Chain A
Amino acid sequence: MRTVSRTRMGLAVSMVAGSCLMAALPGTASAAPVEVPLDEVAAPMDELSVIDQVQELIVEDIDLIPDDSPTPDGGELPRPEGSAEIPDSGGEAPDDATETVPGDGGSDETPTIPGDGGSDETPTVPGDDSSSTPQSNDDTPTVPGDEPGDEPCDEPCDEPKSETYEPATRTRLPFTGGDPLPFMAIGLTAALAGAGFFLRKLGRAAEASFRNDTETSS
């Protein structure tokens, strides 16, 4: 009976200590009251700091769009003050050498569709009965998409892009919380429970030894 009482006492002490610490969880102990304007309150659940932290941890662990990564869709994003260019985020940036659609109202020097009544300087359709031959002049047809006066590009004509800053993709300010109390409360409970088990075993062993001694002596 004594052993059982001791064991129960140890477990009870462990549980009471753990419960007391759990009762002192964040939001009730360390948190100073914060005046929150009613129009800024997103949800009553914001007050439950433990749930908040778990949610934050889950969101950050999933990390679908890392804080420090460029936007995955290559979309155009606002850039910060002082940035020379939006860093290349993987999207195909339009530049001067992009193709124009024939007939899209581009320059007069783009090749016209045969038979469209274009200028005389356009090449004639092979096999037509025109006596004129394509003439070489300054207005020779250019590759679709070429702008008048453009220098030929051996290299991609992308403008140099700055990598000074990353594009702004953030939708939440980073999680910088983390409360030690839950860890300490659970840890203390586990440690006390472990100590209780240990004492229980010691008590049983001592009791068995005592009984053996008593039986032997009697």
Chain B
Amino acid sequence: MRSPVPGYVVSVILVGIGVGLLTYPLSTAWRYTAAQSRMAEAFAATVETSDTPAATDTVPADPAVAVPAAGEPVAKLTIPKLGLDTIVLSGTGRSVLKSGPGHYRETPLPGEPGNSAIAGHRTMYGQPFRYLDKLSEGDEIVALTRAGRFVYKVVEVKSVLPTDVSVIDPTDETFLTLTACDPPGSAARRLVVKARLSD
């Protein structure tokens, strides 16, 4: 009679793999939560130590200030309608986006003149932009940066192809553009929410 050990080993390995794969989506959410908690503390410390005007005027970009390193917190994004309150990190690399929404480094920071753009996951990794499609014209998006608090109002929600990078092109007016994959769970298109700085 054959030893039963190999069979048990196989079953244990299969169960282990299964449990690992089952909990992987949850682990991405845990990673997001942990990173956000860490970044929120770091960002709060920098905001508290600076003068934070409550005005909604734009602030000119300071050429002397270098782009924050990838992964550093650059803003706190709040969307009251969605109950979203998240820290935006610098950069849109894969590792950055696993920890939170990422600011397109080739665009101005929120509050600066021009078209500031932020990308975020719609599924997994905390799915901060999961319900971005629920936004409609007039909804508020608030960005808190080291330069101040800026209130934007949604002017457009649309779906574009992933290659349509024109949505983050520079603009004369001050916009905030949010992008995420669309539809949820697919990478076929990108959902784009465009908001204009409120007067």
Contact = CB atoms under 8 A, between A and B. Distances in A.
B161 A40 contact: yes
B31 interface: no
A160 B96 CA distance: 30
21 contacts: A31-B184, A34-B182, A34-B188, A36-B159, A46-B189, A52-B187, A67-B93, A162-B63, A163-B66, A164-B65, A165-B67, A174-B179, A175-B94, A176-B119, A178-B124, A180-B24, A180-B123, A190-B17, A194-B10, A197-B11, A205-B4
Contact of B7 (A78, A180, A188, A200): A200
Given A31-B183, A67-B92, A80-B106, A174 B60 contact: no
B60 A82 contact: yes
Contacts, number: 235
Contacts of B167: 173
B7 to A, nearest CB: 4
A194 B11 contact: yes
A196 B15 CA distance: 10
Contacts of B108: 80-83, 164-165
Contacts of B16: 194
A49 B185 contact: yes
Interface of A: 26-27, 30-32, 34, 36, 40, 42, 46-47, 49, 52-53, 55-56, 60, 66-68, 78-85, 160, 162-181, 183-184, 186-198, 200-201, 204-205, 208
B188 A183 contact: no
Most central of B60, B70, B189 by chain A CB within 10 Å = B189
Contacts of A32: 183-184
B20 interface: yes
A186 B14 CA distance: 11
A194 B161 contact: no
Contacts of A173: 119, 160, 162-165, 167-168, 179, 190
A56 B97 CA distance: 14
Nearest to B96: A68
Contact of B24 (A26, A55, A82, A183): A183
